[in-house]
Structure 1
């Protein structure tokens, strides 16, 4: 994106800031809407085209070439005294992680829906999440000028598939033609005001009483009161106004802009409060320096401030891969790191402006935070913020350099990509010299391949994509080791199943003072690390690990000599001994392998019901709902994530190209039959003899 950079010395925070997300299913037209909003605000002279690769927010060469948004992008414009930071997000489900990170910094959102395709799979996922997080959301039904636009049907789908709390703010004339226009409703439209009053009364008892009185012939509700209540409930995410229009022709966009101004909140944080913010994007500058995009909820950050950051509740003693002066120092809180801010810029009227400080409410680009990661809290972490809104990746693949000499460069490149997208979750196999990454889909694999080639000069191929399973303990198991040669220490552990979603918990049944805290910490950290690969090689989760025995050799030395390791325990003893105890306890408990399951919905011609059911049966799908109408059939149920791609490929042939499939991750289910295994990347503590030899060689 061509950026105009201006230099200023102060943060002009006298005006409110609205951080607005544009979200949609792929190809609904959200990037085109972003271009229209920027043009109408006077930021750009011409409207960029996705097809021509001339948009403001799709700045990557790969985005312009493919015509899709891959990375979230921020661009700013002024709206009647309010600074709007517009965040354009990817629509393709393979890049849902980008949307995940943006949700935590939004004040409001516009959900774009195509008037032609209507409500799609990603639309439902996004709206469900927006409502759960109570993010104020307007809905824009785009492409009313396209052939096949069905505005009434889409409005019904919004109410039926997304939420009943939708209210149309206008009607469409000549839909499906280039002459299509959106005509806003007004106070003179009795049907509109009646529907509006009925919807708003559902969430306000006082308004409900006034509505009943008006229905009995008493004082009618004024349009001014309805408008004020609509704004109040929209800002509380109780109702969702629906606007119709076309980002290409500009029809209806003025009404949407008015809705953004009047119905979405622009909260003003306290610039004098302690600093609190969230990093939702990390990129590298021309010199390889890290640049963090951070939303400030309170406080003020200035150049040369030493800023604490890191995930709340975790140890973040992390060294930057590039090393040097930008690496983090230790903060007073051992769970956080800190670095000095060296430069700041904010988004201003389509460009960037260098400032010496950025205050609450704004989005700033911060330089100097070398150890920063996506999702980190800066300053004081916010309480009660959900870590994850969408399902984690369910696929993985091994990345193989075409030239063996590029192995080292590949690892560095993938490490930098993991800074920008932690969910790709690098998995290094030192035994085989391989690196695997987690994925949401095949398109993401193509993007990683192109990025590695274009930005890092590393040409790669991929192994076959496989499904990521998990393991859960099947019962209770315990194990105990005392002074196992060559380890000077005692570790006893018990593993118990925990409720689904509990993760891994660690508890003590021994006295905390029975050995130095550093040794307990070494055991706890090693337990978590060891459980990344269970009996079958998958991550073990939803369990409680209890330390039942502990013991150590106090620090000793020979007379008139220095410290003697052969007579004293170290943290290394516990880090090397714990994996053996963990895996012994896990073997006694046993584990069950679970695979990710998708909830699917298929809409197809009624006469294809039989072949479709047969195909679903062959793929192991379990239909829960079957509806057979005159013209169409609807099927909903569960299918293993590993078989979704096969269903996508077979559906056109089964339904004459008329079938529509929606699917999204729903839950994990036990694998039927022989459980799949994944090659281990650790020192294999399941093989006691080999493990001890490998540890001895490492030491």
Structure 2
């Protein structure tokens, strides 16, 4: 049987989980459709998911369509959990993007569709909730074409939209208007088809159009649009037919080298890990020794259990091959995003913005900070973007966040799974620093107050925006032992996590310009004398002093995350809204007035989006609609925010050396 790994994506509350339930029921996997409101759905298994009625973690279920095994992955719709969606995108063969026929295209819908198109993931669009009051057909279809992509075609009509008896009728070859629209759409991407159409449209048989629709959908050039209702089942049969006919099945060589990627990690009651792996090539069998991870984190484990998804459940198997999704057990150190097998597997893409918020996690009385850190570290294994930040000075730990709802999830998870109660401090924005220019510094071992047996010279230069951090050498690679070279490079990366103002430094090139070391020395009886020989510790301790001195000479500018916003509001309320936007440091563009509705686009600091959302209902009589998404980092205007350092500040040489030398003397 062929396999199709299918993602279900949507803006929150568009009905994506309900659609999953309806698909499973139609395929005969479940006898009764679960309810999101009642917390009885198959894919929302977490207690918090059932309580809130939202999807938080991606979940995999399966069903069969005419010889095709569909592994259906239900993803979160709330923007706070976009990291879950990002990981799933790397393993999909195709997707269904769900849109509400009532609310239409929403902020998250646009973000998702833009990403699906950029990754060229074959995508069908399902307009759900045609049975709900306020459901629309023509205007939603027009909005999809205007806001998402013009390369769409409706695959059927809707009668009685907005009522429980709404019916969805698929178009056929007998619908001349449909075949004309389909021909025009497909001809835009096929010159031979266009030529035949221009010469004589009648020579294009319907089967030829369907074949070309399948081809172009599979290449993510066009996106068929289906209408229906997950609650009543209207139109779902046509959608299933579209999945079977138009989306491509998995490809991969089961006899090739083992290659796959981990997109989800769960822990069992005993703490054992289960890795969800999409296999791209090869076959994994029980008791195989399987390498995983990257670089220095490369490890190996013995596979003790394999489960694949079949007819709605995870079924134990002895092996899993290319194209399938499996649960692998026995790989203790595995993390989300790890490649398994072939180390050349491409790194998972970053398609969405990183978290731009953070908050300090405060343990309740009776909970040690050590217990909290261990629990958070386990959560970070399942979600690397949680990104723990340990402050050894203040004995605090911070987590990165996409939004306030994520706080509730972390809080509930710590309570339910670890028995740890926590609260959060006020959410703050994560900024970054970029060098203003170039700066250089060097220190010679045991000279001018340098107590370390190490000579290091470093230069910091600015680099293009978005390039990250690059490390280069202007010294011979063999001028020092590799272990000492590696110590400097690793410490450069660690040191740049906190710049002049305490923020991560990025978009720069760090070049090693000077190097020197003391070769290994021994006493006459052959015992290694550490006091006379350079160690990696000497270079790790000196690097922060040299690098921060160079960075201080270069200077840095703090940049804050900026969102693009689109605001729809009553035209007569524009006046009261503009002063509020100014107070929030937003920069609006020119308003566009369409009758009684005004559309305003512009920029706003990420830190102020939540405030705008809170004030908007009162400002617009409850009619304002705000869409926002991360756009870029912009230099801070006015007071520069400083972030408290979590280390012994290398910018304060005296205190840094006092602490470092004392630590070395004590053997710490």
1:432 aligns with 2:394: yes
Q: Partners in 1 of 2:406 and 2:346 — Cα distance?
A: 31
Shift of 1:543: 0.2
Counterpart among 44, 48, 52 of residue 62 in structure 1:
48
Q: Residue 662 of structure 2 aligns with which residue?
A: 697
**Alignment match of 2:280 (pick from 276, 294, 297):** 297
- The alpha carbon displacement at 1:386 in A equals 5.2
CA contact (8 A) 2:260 2:345 kept: no
1:573 equivalenced with 2:538 (yes/no): yes
2:378 paired residue number: 416
Preserved contact between residue 537 and residue 678 of structure 1 (Cα < 8 Å): yes
Whether 1:230 and 2:213 are equivalent positions in the alignment is yes
Name the residue aligned to 1:195: 181
2:352 aligned to 377, 380, 390, which one? 390
Match of 1:265?
A: 248
CA distance in 1: counterparts of 2:572 and 2:23, whole angstroms = 45
1:561 CA drift (Å): 3.6
Residue 385 of structure 1, CA deviation: 5.3
Match for residue 490 of structure 2 among 525, 545, 567? 525
Structure 1 segments, 4+ long, off by >4 Å, are 381-386
1:194-593 correspondence runs (5 A): 194-215=180-201, 219-311=202-294, 314-316=295-297, 336-381=298-343, 387-403=349-365, 405-484=367-446, 485-593=450-558
Partner residue of 2:11 out of 21, 25, 49: 25
User: Separation in 1 of the partners of 2:347 and 2:65?
Assistant: 29
Alpha-carbon displacement from aligned partner over 1:584-621 (angstroms, at most 9, x marks no partner): 00100000000000000000111111112222122111
Tell me the CA shift for residue 651 of structure 1.
0.9
Write the deviation string for residues 296-338 of structure 1: whole angstroms up to 9, x where unpaired.
0000011111111113xx321xxxxxxxxxxxxxxxxxxx221
For residue 381 of structure 1, report the CA deviation from its aligned partner: 4.4
Q: Deviation at 1:220?
A: 2.6
Task: Select the residue among 114, 121, 135 that pairs with 2:121.
Answer: 135
Answer yes or no: is the 8 Å Cα contact 2:367–2:420 preserved in 1: no
CA contact (8 A) 2:122 2:247 kept: yes
Separation in 2, partners of 1:696, 1:431: 17
Mapped partners of 1:657, 1:124: distance in 2: 23
Structure 1: distance between partners of 2:17 and 2:594: 37
Q: Relative to structure 2, which stretch is displaced further, 48-57 or 384-393?
A: 384-393
Aligned to 1:45, which of 20, 24, 31? 31
Residue 625 of structure 1 and its aligned partner are, at CA, apart by 3.8
Measure how far apart 1:79 and its partner are.
Answer: 0.9
User: For 2:199, what is the secondary structure of its paired residue?
Assistant: helix
* Other-structure match for 2:563: 598
Counterpart pick for 1:179 among 148, 165, 172: 165
Q: 2:645 aligns with which of 657, 667, 680?
A: 680
1:407 CA displacement: 1.5
Shift of 1:560: 1.7
Kindly state the Cα deviation for residue 503 of structure 1 after the two structures are TM-superposed. 0.5
Aligned counterparts of 2:526 and 2:214: Cα–Cα separation in 1: 77
Distance in structure 1 (CA, Å) of the matches to 2:74 and 2:397? 31
Match of 1:110 in 2: 96
Quick one: distance in 2 between partners of 1:181 and 1:617? 48
Does residue 1:169 correspond to 2:150, yes or no?
Answer: no
The answer to whether the 8 A contact 1:406-1:458 is kept is no
The separation in 1 between residues aligned to 2:348 and 2:310, in whole angstroms, is 30
TM-score, normalised to structure 1, is 0.94
Please state how far the C-alpha of 1:683 moved relative to its aligned partner.
1.9
- Indicate if the aligned counterparts of 1:77 and 1:83 stay in contact, CA closer than 8 A: yes
